Amino acid sequence: MQKNNPDAIVIGAGIVGACSALSLTNAGLKVMIIDRGSVASGTTGAGEGNILVSDKDPGPELTLALKSRDLWFELQEDVGDSFELEAKGGVVVARHDSSALMKLAEHQRAAGVTAERVNSAELHKLEPYLHPDLSEGVFYPQDAQCQPMLAAARIIQTVLARGGQLVSQARVTGFEISENTIKGVVTSRGTFHSPLVVNASGTWAGEIATLAGSQLPIAPRKGFILVTEPAPQYIFHKVYDSDYVANVASSDADLQTSTVVEGTRSGTILIGASRERIGFDGSMNFEIVRKLAAQATSLFPVLRDVQLLRVYRGFRPYAPDHLPVIGEDSLISGLWHSAGHEGAGIGLAPGSAALITDAILGRDSFMDAQAFSPQRFAGARL
């Protein structure tokens, strides 16, 4: 196929790839996006659109999340209000002992997060349908949500309008590399030359790194989401129990479930979140589905009579230390990675795009990205 060779190639048309492509385009580069499927056909198309600061401990990821959350609203100015971005706020409910949650909130406040401790009356004013026995929680007004597939599509549409290219249904089969420097990407739809390649292929980023003769320890962490029939508005924020924060950070390979419940504009209710490390096994597990339903109805008894319509699953890309990988490859110069955002890819995408663009152009950035560097895995046995 006839395509002009671009200044940069982004592999992956998910949210991380889309944001990276827009950021590079806005910096003046001609960008080509390559995807083995179509727009948002991987993990972006299987997520809830979480833009959260509430589930993160103080540290580099929280710094990135806070900046990224603000960048989402700037992005909306740039791309247009077309992907259901909404600062709906998060409510974390203490299910048993609240001390761990309150301690986390205190640390988060010190790091710049708005985290308001709420008593029983305030909690039930925020969420009137919450189980009456639940009496304590933390309100995070900065937590937001978007429709991630629409967001990726609208951002890519903007990239294309600004001179970018999209090559879909193109599976990467190899790279052209000379003297450890990237020269181009070989795909099932032809070879494209560029001195700059951003690997934003999410859960599959490790395979892409391997094709380039490097390595990246990104693995899938499977999750199910339950979708109900459209219901009256029972849920007003993103509501989750405090176990969620512990599970996100856990390195346990076994199944973990903790409740995340939220409404959507269409009236359907989304219920997550399970976490399992069983590779790319797409099979259905009804025991997990039952557990998620039981947890959600224990938070919101009113949901007992709401019908489950469908279930979908996705694979979160995670690194062993649960931090994203953002930076230049440790072996191949010109190959950059922005991947491994686990379940936070939507929230962290604009911030990650800013970091990688600044690093590529040698500009100062809003934070030190050392903690995200691929160098941290250099020499590790995979």
Binding site for another protein (CB under 8 A): 37-41, 45, 149-150, 153-154, 156-157, 166, 168-169, 226, 228-229, 266, 268, 271, 284, 286, 289-291, 293-298, 303-312
CB atoms within 10 A of CB 44: 26
Q: Compare residues 178 and 283 and give the one whose CB is closer to another protein.
A: 283
Least separation in angstroms between residue 312's CB and another protein is 7
CA dihedral 83, 84, 85, 89 (to 10 degrees): -160
The partner residues of 175 in beta bridges, in order of sequence, read 185
Least separation in angstroms between residue 285's CB and another protein is 9
Q: Compare residues 214 and 297 and give the one whose CB is closer to another protein.
A: 297
Using CA atoms, how far residue 141 sits from 9, 51, 69, 146, 201, in Å, is: 37, 11, 12, 15, 31
Q: Compare residues 12 and 351 and give the one whose CB is closer to another protein.
A: 12
Least separation in angstroms between residue 165's CB and another protein is 11
Q: Taking CA 79 as the corner, what is the angle to CA 76 and CA 82, rounded to the nearest 5 degrees?
A: 70
Q: Compare residues 102 and 308 and give the one whose CB is closer to another protein.
A: 308
Least separation in angstroms between residue 162's CB and another protein is 15
Dihedral sign computed on CA atoms, order 139, 247, 379, 327: negative
Q: Compare residues 265 and 381 and give the one whose CB is closer to another protein.
A: 265
Using CA atoms, how far residue 6 sits from 113, 142, 165, 298, in Å, is: 40, 37, 8, 53
- Phi/psi for 201 (5° steps) reads -95, 20
User: Half-sphere exposure of 125 toward its Cβ, with a 13 Å CA cutoff?
Assistant: 7
CA dihedral 69, 109, 48, 352 (to 10 degrees): 40
Q: Compare residues 264 and 373 and give the one whose CB is closer to another protein.
A: 264
Q: Compare residues 303 and 356 and give the one whose CB is closer to another protein.
A: 303
How far apart (Å, rounded) are the C-alpha atoms in residues 13 and 222? 20
Least separation in angstroms between residue 2's CB and another protein is 18
What residues contact 357, with CB distance under 8 A and at least 6 apart? Answer: 20, 23, 24, 27, 363
Least separation in angstroms between residue 265's CB and another protein is 10
Q: Provide the angle, in degrees to the nearest 10, between the axes of the packed helices 15-26 and 345-361.
A: 30
Least separation in angstroms between residue 308's CB and another protein is 5
Q: Compare residues 310 and 363 and give the one whose CB is closer to another protein.
A: 310
Least separation in angstroms between residue 326's CB and another protein is 26
